[in-house]
Amino acid sequence: MFTGTLSADLLLGDVHSLKEKRSVVRPIVAELRRRFAVAAAEVGDQDLHRRVQVGMATVAADAAQVGDVLDACERLLAGLPEVTLLSTHRQLLSDADAC
């Protein structure tokens, strides 16, 4: 069993308040969950109105499948016109790592 996480640092476009930020971030997180069946949430920069960190996690039987899902999530984020993908960080763990 493999667990993969992806943390993405995003710069939001024309956003001037935390309320506007929520209206941009919520649909992105919902789309990640719906399309790729990942756990996704806003995990950082909650007090900044133009920056957001979104975290995603997935579990699969093999590492390649985890990588494919995280690649697809990253492509989705990179293709959104309302945000700029600044950076990502990935981590892959296997159940053998826990021993």
Residue 84 lies in a domain: yes
Residue 35 lies in a domain: yes
The whole-number pLDDT of residue 30 equals: 96
Residue 9 lies in a domain: yes
Residue 96 lies in a domain: no
* pLDDT surpasses 80 at 99: no
Separation of alpha carbons 91 and 93, rounded Å: 7
Is the pTM above the cut of 0.75?
Answer: yes
Query: Which domain, by its residues, includes 76?
Result: 2-90
Q: What angle do CA 6, 8, 13 make, to 5 degrees?
A: 155
| Residue 68: CATH number of its domain | 3.30.70.1120
Residue 99 lies in a domain: no
- The segment with the largest mean pLDDT, out of 13-17, 30-34, 40-44, 80-84, is 30-34
Residue 95 lies in a domain: no
